[in-house]
Chains A and B, each alone.
Chain A
Amino acid sequence: MLEFSPDRLDAYLAISTVLFAAGVLAATTRRNAIGLLIGLELLLNAAALQFAAYGRFRASATDPQGQTAAVFVIVVAAAEAALALAMLFAVYKTTRDVDLEKTRELRS
Chain B
Amino acid sequence: MIGPLLWCLVAPLLLAAVCLLLRSAVWPRWLALAGSLLTLAIGGYALLDFAQHPGADFRLQQSLAWSPDFGANLAVGVDGMGAAMLFLSGLVTAMATIVAWRHERSPGTYHALVLLLLAAMNGVFVALDLLVFYVSWEAVLLPMLPLVGVFGGPQRRYAALKFFAYTLAGSVTMLAMLLALWSVTPAAGRSVLVPASTIAAYSIDGGATLHGLPVLRTADSPIATVHVPRGFDLRHLALQANAWADARFLGWSLAAFGFLAVLLACLVKVPAVPLHTWLPHAHVQAPTAVSVLLAGVLLKLGVYGLYRVAWPLFPSQAIEWAPTLGVIALVGILWGAYAALGQRDLKRLVAYSSVSHMGFCLLGLASMTAVGAIGGLVQAVTHGLSSSLLFVLVGVVYDRAHHRDVAGFGGLMRPMPRFAWLLLVAALAGAGLPGLAGFVGELLALLGAFTAKGSFPWLAAIATLSVVLSAAYMLWTVKRVAFGPLRHAEHATFPDCDRRELAAMLPLVVLLVVLGCWPAPLVNALRPACEALLMHVQGALR
A–B contact at 8 Å CB threshold (below): no
